[in-house]
Structures are given as structure tokens and as C-alpha cells.
Amino acid sequence: MSARPAVVDDRTAQAWRVLASVLDPEVPALSVVDLGIVREVSAGEGGALEVVLTPTYSGCPATEAIEADVAAALVAAGLGPVTLTQRLAPAWTTDWISDDGRRKLAAYGIAPPCTRASHAVVHVLARNVPCPRCQSVRTERLSAFGSTACKSMHRCLDCREPFEYFKAI
């Protein structure tokens, strides 16, 4: 009996490592763990691994693809069977994107959220988002929505490059 929790923990820890390599299909710089959408991993009843996911935007077209990718990766790593649960509350926020995730976003050319979601006054956010290439804050917003609802489009007035910004929400 005493060895059992250790075995369970090992499976859960392995699952977190596997999930850290499952990428968001829309923003492939980030894993589902970086995004903060994996809320819980635990050993459930009947030997299934229970994974709780929180969707990002209500209309994100990647939600179902992400769920399928998560299940497939865990099963492929021999950690199945897997039970996925979608949890809406508390609602996902960009505050849950990890520090590592923010660095990866910037390296990928997408400016990470530059304010806490609770402080996100959208009018202020429209300006002065630091350029992910040259770090200048002399930037301007071109469009409130980018290639996906979670991003807006901006341009840097110093290096003149356009870039996307992951909006705080």
C-alpha cells in the first residue's frame, strides 16, 4: 500500500512532462501547460488519468483540437486511459500564462500580455505595447483583432516591423 501514492505521483508527474510538449495549434510557440489551460492532472477512479482543461476563448476553434491532442499524447506515452473534463469557472485568463510561456511568445514574435487581466483597460492597451523585436514602446495598434481573437495587430514606430500582441483578458 505504501508504494501506491508514489506510483500515482510518478504517473501524474510524467503526464505533466508530456503535456509540456503538447503545443497550441494556433500559437505553436506555447504548450498547453505554458498557456495555463491544464488546471489539474490526477489519478481518477477506474485507473483513468483525469485531466481538467479550461478553454481560452468561448469561440476558440482550437479547443477541440487541443483536447484531442492532449488525449492522444498521453495515450501515446502509455499514460492512458485518459478522462478529459472541461472546466469553465474560474474563466481562463492570460494571467495564467507562465513566465516561461511569456518568454517563448516574445521569442516567437508575439508580444506577451503587458498587464494583468484585472487591470486591462483596453483603451490604454491599444498603445505602448513593447515591440517584441526591438523592445521600443513607441508602437501603435493597427487592428483590435489579429489572426485569432486573442491577438491584436500592432506596428513598431522605431524598427518599423509589424507584430502581434497577445491581449490581456
Partner 1 sequence: MTASIRLQLTPDVRYVLRIADTCLVHAQRLAEWCGHAPVLEEDIALSNLGLDLLGQARALLTHASRLEGGGHGEDALAFLRDEHDYFNLTLVELPLRRGGADFADTQLRCFIVAAWLAPLWQDLSTSRDPELAAIAAKAAKETRYHLEHAADWVVRLGDGSDESARRMQAALVRAWPYVAELFDDDAVDAAAAASRLGPPASALREPWLASIRPVFADARLTPPADGAFRSHGRRGTHSEHMGYLLAEMQHLQRAFPGGVW
144 binds partner 1, rule: CB under 8 A = yes
Q: What is the largest CA-CA distance in the chain?
A: 64
Residue selected from 1, 3, 6, 89 as contacting partner 1 according to rule CB under 8 A: 89
Taking the C-alpha atoms of residue 57 and residue 67, their distance in angstroms, rounded to an integer, is: 14
Contact 163, 142 (CB under 8 A): no
| 37's grid cell | 489551460
CB of 123 to partner 1, least distance (A): 7
Query: By CB under 8 A, which span of 34-42, 43-51, 85-93, 156-164 interacts with partner 1?
Result: 85-93
- Binder of partner 1 out of 6, 45, 58, 99 (CB under 8 A): 58
- Only one of the segments 9-17, 32-40, 75-83, 90-98 lies at the binding site for partner 1 (rule: CB under 8 A); that segment is 90-98
67 by DSSP, 3-state: which?
A: helix
Question: Do residues 110 and 164 touch, judged by C-beta distance below 8 A?
Answer: yes
Provide the 8-state DSSP code for 135.
-
Please select the residue that binds partner 1; options are 145, 157, 158, 162, rule is CB under 8 A. Answer: 145
One of 42, 93, 115, 136 touching partner 1 (CB under 8 A): 93
